[in-house]
Structure 1
């Protein structure tokens, strides 16, 4: 099933952090990071939008899946991109996500489960189809749980959790696939999720997005040696859902 969102026009991107070498934006859910021949119909891309907004070239140093929102970092030169990429390779950059999932999550779990690379039928037509699974680790912490007296399927109530996710590796769809393995699919995930609960959220909360948020990116600056933490807000729509589930509805609580 396609994750293609309803076409919308994005306004000016929100800049979360900027210095002479790097700039970070709050990427909206549904916006592609850069142009892709798999989405030829698209006309807006974070990379080009930010380039036009700043009036200079930008260089992506990592990626966010199209339906994921939150902190997306770019370099302002190829040299700065190279040096930041090295930090990603060394694993010294910390990434924090929040995910709204179906089910009651355990208080804390570290999942060490290798993942076989997900290949696209078109883009990866000539890739090695028998490549061995790659190392993948994620730390999950449950922040909140909620149960609603609404029957879905064979159960008389629905259960949801807000989970803090710290991926230690960067495999494609790692958080989504690891949560699915734990029987905690992310709400709004059409490829790895639960379609009944996705539909419930569309109808009950008017929600039409993947509930995965890249909330923080932390690193030691390659040039100043300062400890940098860049944060992205959850947004009013998510905070409204949190309130309806009985959780805190203030940004500072997350």
Structure 2
């Protein structure tokens, strides 16, 4: 039988004479070039990336529908000033569905694709290598360095965990994170080598069958015993990464237990600093009464964004080098302790927005450690210079204290005993020089939140009727 060509057919035949059901997706813009290998270089203990051109393609988010395109860029993205986005739209570096945007007031609709081609300047990250805790055919358990985002986001692309691992193992390899840590947080993360492994581990973590333990360093003398905080958490500003304790927030529960307390070495105020307005008012010096620092173990029962950082701030013992939640210039002299109202929210966001632009992000740990003025001036902020290629405002290199905070995911353990991965204590959690010989250098069963009896504390999954709901966090004796 002879072979004959078949007549062409419609790729998507209409379901009815008057209706064509398939609509081609809007066109997207392709990055002008894809630098590979990534243009990394090491300098002054930092991993840097040479500037390069890059195109973002983003589908219209639900909250963007019906809004003007300039309004979306100006309110949702902190990377560039509004004037930059205005010029980029008018000059065609921002396009809608592959076409020039008619005007700054063009309305974005559901299904639209926004493409933005820019000369990308990535912030430096620590040159510290990604640690490997365990590896098998399915998973890699890593020790994530502080100050490095997991996924490409915002100003970061190649300087992310995903892209660093891809650069190390090959362009075609696709690492699949099973859990997420904040950019500033270090510690254990699970990377799936294939889709099924990533889905299985992610399901375990979502199902609360995995016990998590974090270690942190906080301002002042954290109380002894098991401290339970159950305050709900609400996202206040996704643009600024700000979350607060609010009655209308999502359920959040954490158990804390102190590992060690290190008082100041002498009677001299270790927090005095000329950058802060000094006053004799007792109220304005409230946070300065928090002498010394504590190493605290944290057991998050839920997994809200910034949960540990927000709960510790609410308890009056924020992470001591947290540039957001331990920032007196943002939250005032009490550092936001026990604050759950929204009357000054706009002021807080205005002050936080200035950090890293007109002002250096500050936290009480800089006083605690007596970091000198040279290092404080070295913190990342706008230099006043612009890029010769794209007129983007340039930032200085971040100081060492901006490359992470004192929060480390130390241990993840399967509740059924199938696996258990942990790291040692970070350097900042070890006893300082001159500490007592019996100061703890590793966690013990007596200070282990993973051994906390959740039923005793009224926090066992499904037993909501016993959960404490008082206005102040409850302290339970060990």
Normalising TM by the smaller chain, what interval? Answer: 0.7 to 0.9
Offset of residue 89 of structure 1: 1.7
Choose between structure 1 and 2 for higher RCO, CA contacts under 8 A separated by at least 6 residues: 1
Which of 151, 172, 190 lines up with 2:305 in the alignment?
A: 172
Q: Do the aligned partners of 1:117 and 1:131 also contact (CA within 8 Å) in 2? A: no
Offset of residue 122 of structure 1: 8.2
- Stretches of structure 1 lacking an aligned partner (at least 5 in a row): 124-129
Q: Tell me, in whole angstroms, the C-alpha distance in 2 between the residues paired with 1:156 and 1:96.
A: 28
Q: Within 5 Å, give how 1:136-175 maps onto structure 2.
A: 136-148=252-264, 149=266, 150-151=268-269, 152=271, 154=285, 155=288, 158-175=291-308
Q: Do the aligned partners of 1:146 and 1:245 also contact (CA within 8 Å) in 2? A: no
Q: Tell me, in whole angstroms, the C-alpha distance in 2 between the residues paired with 1:113 and 1:157.
A: 22
Give the TM-score normalised by the residue count of structure 2: 0.45
Q: Is 1:230 aligned with 2:424?
A: no
Q: Tell me, in whole angstroms, the C-alpha distance in 2 between the residues paired with 1:15 and 1:121.
A: 32
TM-aligned CA distance change 1:158 to 1:6, over 3 Å: farther
Q: Do the aligned partners of 1:117 and 1:134 also contact (CA within 8 Å) in 2? A: no
Provide the secondary structure at the position in 2 that maps to 1:135: coil
Superposed CA deviations along residues 209-248 of structure 1, whole A, max 9, x for unmatched, are: 311111111126xxxx762111123344553xx2237266
Q: Tell me, in whole angstroms, the C-alpha distance in 2 between the residues paired with 1:54 and 1:191.
A: 35
Q: Within 5 Å, give how 1:91-130 maps onto structure 2.
A: 91-107=208-224, 108-121=226-239
Q: Is 1:65 aligned with 2:182?
A: yes
Q: Tell me, in whole angstroms, the C-alpha distance in 2 between the residues paired with 1:251 and 1:131.
A: 38
Mean Cα deviation higher: 83-92 or 192-201:
192-201
TM-aligned CA distance change 1:105 to 1:245, over 3 Å: farther
Offset of residue 249 of structure 1: 7.4
Offset of residue 168 of structure 1: 0.6
Q: Do the aligned partners of 1:216 and 1:229 also contact (CA within 8 Å) in 2? A: yes
Which of 237, 241, 244 lines up with 2:433 in the alignment?
A: 244
- What residue number does 1:24 align with? 141
- What residue number does 1:199 align with? 366
Mean Cα deviation higher: 9-18 or 74-83:
9-18
Q: Do the aligned partners of 2:219 and 2:365 also contact (CA within 8 Å) in 1? A: no
What is the aligned residue count?
238
TM-aligned CA distance change 1:32 to 1:121, over 3 Å: closer
Offset of residue 54 of structure 1: 3.7
- Stretches of structure 2 lacking an aligned partner (at least 5 in a row): 1-77, 79-121, 273-284, 328-361, 376-399, 445-478
- What residue number does 1:126 align with? none
- What residue number does 1:183 align with? 316
Q: Is 1:45 aligned with 2:160?
A: yes
Provide the secondary structure at the position in 2 that maps to 1:244: coil
The Cα RMSD (Å) is 3.2
Question: Which has more radius of gyration?
Answer: 2
